[in-house]
Amino acid sequence: MSSIMVVMRRECGAYFHTPIAWIFIALQMAIMSFFFFQYSPFFIIESADMRVWFGLTPFMMMVFAPAVTMRLWSEEIRTGSTEVLLSLPVESRDLVIGKWLAAVVVLLASVAASLGIPATLGWLASSPVDWGPIVGGYIGTVLAGMMFLALGCWVSALSSNQVVSLLVGVTVGILLVLALSPDFASYVSSSQPVLARVIESLGVQSHFQAIERGVLALSDVVYFLSGTTLFLTLCVFQVELRKQ
């Protein structure tokens, strides 16, 4: 456990003592706020909720999670520091979890930075805001974010080139969010109903939408935790493979 914390602290330092995490969070806030206030008719529909914001979240995660995690392993592999890291008396599993937890800290910081939006809603609402779906949306954001960051960790361990890691991460993200979308499921449902069900079960959006609506279902939580476990395990495998 202590080794996980040591790795996490080291990676957190790498994120927050350099502009990486700050720029990532600032950029994410700017883009999300632009879509929320300018692109969507927030002041026209006059609804004090964050459904539009949370609707954008999977799409942002799809791009930003690999951007945050791309350096986690690729950088180490490129500079050769992996050799040193893997020779330390630390389990590969602890290294992977420590690095992933550092990325989760960045995610939590970005969630904290977006708390201005619910504060804004509280200020502008004419009646009490229903905080339940907003809390649900944030829980969904953290769960989905954890899965995408685990995916990014794994993809980062595949290549020594950060750009390649980013591109592969975004591609897999697109697969999970867009290709396995409920839209696509309904597209194939008439000819392949079983395939449609599989697509719906594997896609991020169909699991995220219920949480965004204010319903926290066990199946959705299990889905995100399963995805996180799978990608972290694949990452451990990849790191172990380098050890051999």
Partner 1 sequence: MVERKRQFLVRWIVSIVVLVVLLVLVNGVSREFDRRLDLTAAGTHTISPETGNILSRLQEPVILEYWVSEKLPSGLQNLRRDTVDYLDEFQRAAADAGGRIEVKVIDPARVIEQYVKEQAGDGEEEEPDPMAAFMGGPTSPADTKKAELAQQGIPELQGRSIKEDGIEVVPFFSAIVLKYLDRESEGIPVHTTLEGLEYELVSRIAKLTLESKPVLAFFQGRPDDMITQGPDGSPLPAPMSRFDPLLDALGDRFEVRKIMLTEESLIPEEAQLLIIAEPDGTTPRQRYEIENSIRSGRPAMILASTTSGSMDRGFQLTPLNPGFSESFGKWGIDIQPNMIVSSQRQCGSIETVTEGPLGMRMRVPQPFPVSPGAAGNNLDGTSPFTRGLQALVFPFASPLIINEAVADAAGVKITPLAKSDSDAWLTPFGPAVTAPMVTPPKDPGMQKSRVLALVAEGEFPSTFEVGSKIPSWDPTLEVTGGEEGAPLVEASESVESRILLIASADMAKYTSLNMYRQNVGFLMGSIEALALDPDLAKIRGKVQLASALRETTRDERTLVTYGNMAGVPLLLLVIYGLISASRRSGARHHEALHMLKVPANAGEKKEAS
Residue nearer to partner 1 on the CB measure, 80 or 193 = 193
List the one residue from 5, 26, 88, 195 that touches partner 1 (CB under 8 A).
Answer: 26
CA nearest 72: which of 92, 38, 95, 49? Answer: 95
Report, in Å, the least distance between residue 9 CB and partner 1. 16
Render the burial of 52-68: b for 16+ CB within 10 Å, e for the rest.
Answer: bbbbbbbbbbbbbbbbb
- The angle formed by the CA atoms of residues 196, 199 and 202, to the nearest 5 degrees, is 150
List the one residue from 142, 175, 216, 242 that touches partner 1 (CB under 8 A).
Answer: 216
Asked if 171 interacts with partner 1 (CB under 8 A), we say no
Report, in Å, the least distance between residue 187 CB and partner 1. 7
Q: Side-chain half-sphere of 97: how many Cα atoms within 13 Å?
A: 13
Asked if 91 interacts with partner 1 (CB under 8 A), we say no
Asked if 233 interacts with partner 1 (CB under 8 A), we say yes
User: In Å, what is the CA distance from 206 to each residue of 25, 119, 151?
Assistant: 26, 28, 18
CA nearest 31: which of 1, 63, 74? Answer: 63
Residue nearer to partner 1 on the CB measure, 70 or 185 = 185
Span from 22-30, 67-75, 90-98, 143-151 in contact with partner 1 (CB under 8 A): 22-30
List the one residue from 84, 124, 163, 195 that touches partner 1 (CB under 8 A).
Answer: 124
Report, in Å, the least distance between residue 2 CB and partner 1. 25
